[in-house]
């Protein structure tokens, strides 16, 4: 099962037991899944707090020269200088909230690294989605560690290998943590596709480290 290997993986795995996490059997990647980062009641409380308090907005991005509204709501929080740009959209961080700082710390304990920003996404129903992409913007540096917390409706998270087109799917459950590290962003894209079924709301938080001129290693 544990086909993935590497130095980063050793550090990532250090703080959690084999029973707490599942290493996804993907080549050219370091991905693990913890179904229960949070107890169900903690996850439900956090979902409500975030849905009711974050500065959700439906941004417009430019794809192939055409401006379009993203099919979900989003919010960007972080340290003051953690500015992030994707698809022509510059995200200036809102200041951390208490709830976000608490869950950030839990992710940092598991991953044994520091994050300085988080992208929050709110999927209102099955017609909200996230297109195929890699988290490979220059601000994220080489081989970024991305900690992804899911709350609310379980949704399928798909990986697609950039060269072989091999696919891998994992259902991201309420209170779970998915960690992507090592070469994952270099070799794989990921996304959440639309569903026709009536689905409930889902919040996803992806904690990241943004490197600016002052803090690039
Ligand atoms: O909602 C998700 O699980 C995916 C989020 C994602 O791909 C991203 O923030 O880059």
Helix H, strand E, coil C: the string for 125-139 is: CCCCCEEEECCCCHH
pLDDT at residue 215 in the model: 52
Checking if the pLDDT of 6 tops 50, the result is no
- Mean pLDDT for the stretch of residues 92-106: 98
Using alpha carbons, list the distances in angstroms from residue 205 to 68, 144, 146, 167, 176.
22, 15, 10, 23, 11
Q: What is the largest CA-CA distance in the chain?
A: 47
Confidence category of residue 216, pLDDT binned at 50, 70, 90: very low
**Cα–Cα nearest to 130, from 174, 180, 86, 179:** 86
Question: What single-letter DSSP state applies at residue 19?
Answer: G
Burial class, 88, CB count within 10 angstroms (exposed 0-12 / middle 13-18 / buried 19+): exposed
Q: Are 116 and 139 in contact (CB under 8 A)?
A: no
Instruction: Return the best residue to mutate from 206, 207, 208 for the ligand 1 pocket (most ligand atoms within 8 A of CB).
Output: 206
**Cα–Cα nearest to 47, from 199, 207, 205, 203:** 203
pLDDT at residue 14 in the model: 66
- Mean pLDDT for the stretch of residues 45-63: 94
Instruction: Return the best residue to mutate from 134, 190, 201 for the ligand 1 pocket (most ligand atoms within 8 A of CB).
Output: 190
Q: pLDDT tens digit string along 58-86?
A: 999 877 788 889 999 999 999 999 998 87
Handedness of CA 59, 150, 42, 105 (dihedral sign): negative
- Mean pLDDT for the stretch of residues 8-17: 61
**Cα–Cα nearest to 143, from 109, 186, 198:** 186
Domain range 7-208, CATH class: mainly beta
Least confident range of 82-96, 129-143, 180-194: 82-96
Residue of the CA atom closest to atom 7 of ligand 1: 191
Checking if the pLDDT of 182 tops 70, the result is yes
Distance from the alpha carbon of residue 204 to the mean position of ligand 1, in angstroms: 7
Distance from the alpha carbon of residue 191 to the mean position of ligand 1, in angstroms: 7
Q: Decide: 135 in ligand 1 pocket, CB within 6 A.
A: yes
Give the list of residues 6+ apart from residue 50 with CB closer than 8 angstroms, or none. 99, 100, 120, 151, 203, 205
Give the list of residues 6+ apart from residue 131 with CB closer than 8 angstroms, or none. 191
Q: Decide: 140 in ligand 1 pocket, CB within 6 A.
A: no
Q: Decide: 120 in ligand 1 pocket, CB within 6 A.
A: no
Q: Decide: 4 in ligand 1 pocket, CB within 6 A.
A: no
Checking if the pLDDT of 33 tops 70, the result is yes
Distance from the alpha carbon of residue 119 to the mean position of ligand 1, in angstroms: 8
Distance from the alpha carbon of residue 99 to the mean position of ligand 1, in angstroms: 19
Cα separation, 10 vs 94, whole angstroms: 33
Cα separation, 19 vs 104, whole angstroms: 22
């Amino acid at each position: 099962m544990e086909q993935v290997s590497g130095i980063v993986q050793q550090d990532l795995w250090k703080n959690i037991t084999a029973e707490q996490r599942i290493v996804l059997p993907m080549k050219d990647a370091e991905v693990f899944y913890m179904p229960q980062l949070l107890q169900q009641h903690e996850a439900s409380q956090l979902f409500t707090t975030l849905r009711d308090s974050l500065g959700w907005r439906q941004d417009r991005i430019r794809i192939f020269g055409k401006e379009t509204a993203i099919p979900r709501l989003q919010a960007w929080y972080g340290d003051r200088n953690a500015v992030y740009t994707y698809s022509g959209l510059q995200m200036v961080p809102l200041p951390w909230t208490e709830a976000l700082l608490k869950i950030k710390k839990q992710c940092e304990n598991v991953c044994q690294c520091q994050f300085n920003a988080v992208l929050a996404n709110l999927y209102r129903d099955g017609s909200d989605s996230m297109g195929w992409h890699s988290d490979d913007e220059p601000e994220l540096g080489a081989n970024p560690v991305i900690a992804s917390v899911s709350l609310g409706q379980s949704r399928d998270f798909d990986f697609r290998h950039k060269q072989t087109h091999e696919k891998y799917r994992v259902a991201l459950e309420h209170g779970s943590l998915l960690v992507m590290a090592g070469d994952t962003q270099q070799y794989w894209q990921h996304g959440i596709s639309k569903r026709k079924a009536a689905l409930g709301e889902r919040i996803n938080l992806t904690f990241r480290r943004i490197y600016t001129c002052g803090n690039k290693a």
